[in-house]
Amino acid sequence: MATVTASTPRALPTGLLRHRAVHKLLLIALAAAVLVPLANARWASGSWPGALTVDLTSPLSKASDWIIDNRDSHPLFLYFFGYVSNAVVISVRAVYLVLLGAGWAGVTAFGALVAWRVAGVRLAVGTTAAFLACGLLGMWVPTMQTLALMVVAVLASVVVGVLLGLAAGLSRRMDKVLRPVLDTMQVMPAYAYLLPVVLVFGMGVPAAVLATVVYAAPPMARLTALGLQGADKEVLEAVESLGTTARQRLLTARIPLARKELLLGLNQTIMMALSMAVIASVIGAAGLGDRVYQALASVDVGAALAAGIPIVLLAVVLDRVTGAAGDGTEPRGRAGWAYALAGAVVVAVAGRLLGRLDWPDAWTLNIAEPVNRAVDWMTDHLYSGVPVFGGTADWAGHFTTWVLDPVRDGLQGLPWWSVLLIVATLAWLIGTWRTALTAVLAMAAIGVLGVWTPALDTLSQVLAAVAVTLVLGFATAVAAARSDRVERLLRPVLDVFQTMPQFVYLIPVVALFGVGRAPAAAAAVVYALPAVVRITTQGLRQVDPAAMESSRSLGATSWQQLRQVQLPLARPALLLAVNQGVVLVLAVVVIGGLVGGGALGYDTVFGLAQGDLATGLVAGAAIVCLGLMLDRVTQPTERRTGKGA
Amino acid sequence: MRVRAIAMGGALLLLTGCGAADMTKQASPFANAQGAKSLTLSVQSWVGAQANVAVAQYLLEHKLGYRVDTVQVDEVPAWDALSQGRVDAILEDWGHPEQEQRYVKDKKTITPGGGLGVTGHIGWYVPTYFAKQHPDVTNWKNLNKYASQLRTAESGGKGQLMDGSPSYVTNDKALVKNLDLDYQVVFAGSEAAQITQMRQFAKEKKPFLTYWYAPQWLFEKVPMTEVKLPAYKEGCDADPAKVACAYPHTPLQKYLNTDFAKSGGKAAAFLKKFKWTTEDQNQVSLMIADQKLTPEEAAKKWVDSHASTWKAWLS
């Protein structure tokens, strides 16, 4: 639709646009005038009518009972799931043993040399430092466990992703079928499907790897499909004219042409897999995530941070290295690789001969204690009694009573049909009638699942957190877009915010804001802020320099320039930032359940903790529906390809 | 045609030849990495459970030569893992009648491992500094008088009763309703969040009312007094909607995987004998949670000074 794109609004007569919006509004008003009295006469309740719900409790608990009773005897498990599960265990074990056998020196040397070949000397030094830091923090063995898990999970995700991507990239119809599937895989909170995965594959590594594949394969699939669809038509025609078969064309032209997208897909898949490392520890996946999780149980922020830092380091190193591989256009010489490999082997063997396989205990640094002292000091001084401002506890209280409560009560007080009407109006004004229909159906599905009231509670938290994220994010982004120095300083901070497992900051967040919905909102803001800042900064910076220059020559002040030139021109980026803010905040809803956020997040956690398939899955499905609805309401531009920045 | 038949036959042979994949026998891929005898223990999220496991692990590793892996999982999934042999033992169970019926009585994949020696009790608690100022707050009949003092932003005009992790046994919503209390149950969502909040309240000497349980190390840091609820009688909590009585005192239990209990050798015999007191457990818990010792260091400290207790477990 031409309603809202970057430049057309200025070109099109605004009268026409208004006209169209008025049209839509009139149509909706007409539909409402007919439907609302009907609905109201039949189900006159304010909240979602009980007659229109479906209770899934009994079928879902039956399914879970069936799995438990047949798991040890049914052929489906003995000859299929059992093999999958065994294959995962064997491969993870193999990788782990290789990593242990190479010793810390060998692994570090290998990592550094690969980084050197792919991305140059600077990243090689960074990689070395990162691995040594993992050892210094006393986390060498857990890091290797996580790495082994990651290698297998990423390989599996890439295979699954590429297969799905090939299907979608080569057939329009498959593309249409797969798109909602991929959406669901990403928006569904992992917590909701951990339990079914555990029931089928059993506790521990196999379930963790498979849950990771569900989450990490979609970006690979999307980018593969995008790469295949975007291949240069002329090149393809030229290849075709040479009389090649379809398969040859795929292998020799289309896939090589899609190299950039494939590598970006790999990069995204690694990032998402790593972000699952901690969540997967909830089902016994061991490694760094498990250390974070166990530290949480003894309320030890320092220990959690000591395990969280290696995750951040791994993420940053892998991101930069795969990112550099995606940027490089020419494959480099084989000889260099051979030298690099030989070097790594030499170091590994030397380490072995010297008997220095395990990281020496004496070389560890205990950061837990000073970190805990710092956190204590901070929470002591900020929690209450800051002169004039009050303390963080007061702010949290005010935020809850002045913002969260009214929004929640307002949403829950609205008659159910009016919520649907509002959703329809917003979605239609921004998109097509199809978008509006999807959004309304998603919202209605929440009602049908019987979680209308908690879903609106969650929605109110999401809206409030997104509002805070956008205010902070836009302000930071404006500063970053205007000054290179600010942007440089900001980059590592954003990296840490984005990759630090949320479990690490749960305790400080509660210590500052108390238990309730306010700390949940704070955790969500921390997680969603980096993407919003990055997208907005990029958008502002890409504004045509000529436009900026001409406005400056007209004597515009810097504020006028920002308001009248930069922001309007960066509009598509701003809208994308809003959309990503919503999606990412929604991803933390479950974590919010762990600090008193209640509603759907709590239900999801409850489902896993109590082995209650019905509660967990229904809450998870409702979160997916909320995500779908919010996406449609905030996504006017054409669909993006990958999630996350 | 013939080729296909052979291929089919081959595939079938491959499947049956390899045999069924036994879903009940899969250890962690990280186990036995250096070729040692090993077993896996389940740790629950509270520190008392960490203390049990830390001491058991220390003794198994240093006195019996085992390698011990631990996994932290919630209670109900842990039962499931135990029945499948992915975990060999649970050392502290607070009572899960449904799971007992399914796995111990019906499927017989789990065997009771005897008592832990510690008695658990769930209840409602207020901080002792508050109970001293207002001695009558310790009876549920007077709780409504204090609702306004216990109000928070989350409790919506009523008093706040803070509940913890979703994995814990609780009747609190029913209790508030059936005892006609002017309170709102606020779920902290995790034990870590609940402890953090209690410590913040205690620092400021603010009153609070919380679901909590003993044995627990936090009592040493934040002294708390139990609020009396209508007395517990056998079966008064049978109907979850109609509960109007206190929580029972539960002797905590150990459970072993049945195969492991039979063929686990010295390790299984040791875990069956493992039995200590509430004081012992609290000592170790406090070292872990408050003095921030690693579980291993804490276990070593306790083991070094309690030889007579643990020697009995090894005999």
Contact at CB, A97 and B47, closer than 8 angstroms = no
Mutate which of A88, A298, A369, A394 to disrupt the B interface (most B C-beta within 10 Å)?
A: A298
State the average pLDDT over residues B33-57.
Answer: 83
Asked which of A88-97, A394-403, B7-16 is least confident by mean pLDDT, the reply is: B7-16
Distances, alpha carbon A474 to alpha carbons A182, A197, A478, A487, A643, in Å? 29, 39, 6, 13, 20
Asked which of A8-22, A140-154, A352-366 is least confident by mean pLDDT, the reply is: A8-22
Tell me the per-residue pLDDT of A47-106, one tens digit each, with 9 for 90 and over. 777 777 888 888 888 888 888 888 777 888 777 888 888 888 889 989 998 888 888 888
CA angle A203, A206, A210 (to 5 degrees): 115
Asked which of A130-134, A174-178, B15-19, B148-152 is least confident by mean pLDDT, the reply is: B15-19
Amino acid at A400: T
Tell me the per-residue pLDDT of B259-285, one tens digit each, with 9 for 90 and over. 999 988 899 999 999 999 999 999 999
Nearest to B153 among A100, A516, A605 (CB): A516
CB contacts, 8 Å: B162 with chain A: 515
> Phi and psi dihedrals of A284, rounded to 5?
80, 40
CA atoms of B308 and B306, how far apart (whole Å): 6
CB contacts, 8 Å: B15 with chain A: 79
CA dihedral of residues A102, A326, A171, A185 (deg, nearest 10): 60
Residue A463 has pLDDT above 90, yes or no: yes
How far B307 CA sits from the closest chain A CA (Å)? 26
> What local confidence, expressed as pLDDT, does residue A161 receive?
93
* A:B CB pairs within 8 Å: 215
How far B75 CA sits from the closest chain A CA (Å)? 7
CA atoms of A382 and B310, how far apart (whole Å): 46
Q: Are B95 and B101 in contact (CB under 8 A)?
A: no
For residue A403, give the DSSP letter: I
| Among the listed residues A102, A98, A112, the one whose alpha carbon sits nearest the alpha carbon of residue A317 | A112
The whole-chain average pLDDT of chain A stands at: 83
State the average pLDDT over residues B143-170.
Answer: 89
Q: What is the ipTM of this complex?
A: 0.84
CB contacts, 8 Å: A148 with chain B: 29
And the tokens for B85? 């042999």
Contact at CB, B30 and A145, closer than 8 angstroms = yes
CA atoms of A394 and A547, how far apart (whole Å): 45
For every residue of A303-338, which 3-state class applies, written as one string? HHHHHHHHHHHHHHHHHHHHHHHHHCCCCCCHHHHH
| Among the listed residues B149, B151, B160, B248, the one whose alpha carbon sits nearest the alpha carbon of residue A598 | B160
Tell me the per-residue pLDDT of A426-452, one tens digit each, with 9 for 90 and over. 888 887 888 888 899 999 999 999 899
Residue A544 has pLDDT above 80, yes or no: no
And the tokens for A44? 């006159």
Residue B45 has pLDDT above 90, yes or no: no
| Among the listed residues A613, A620, A629, the one whose alpha carbon sits nearest the alpha carbon of residue A590 | A620
Contact at CB, A86 and B189, closer than 8 angstroms = no
Contact at CB, B76 and A609, closer than 8 angstroms = yes
| Among the listed residues A276, A384, A310, the one whose alpha carbon sits nearest the alpha carbon of residue A137 | A310
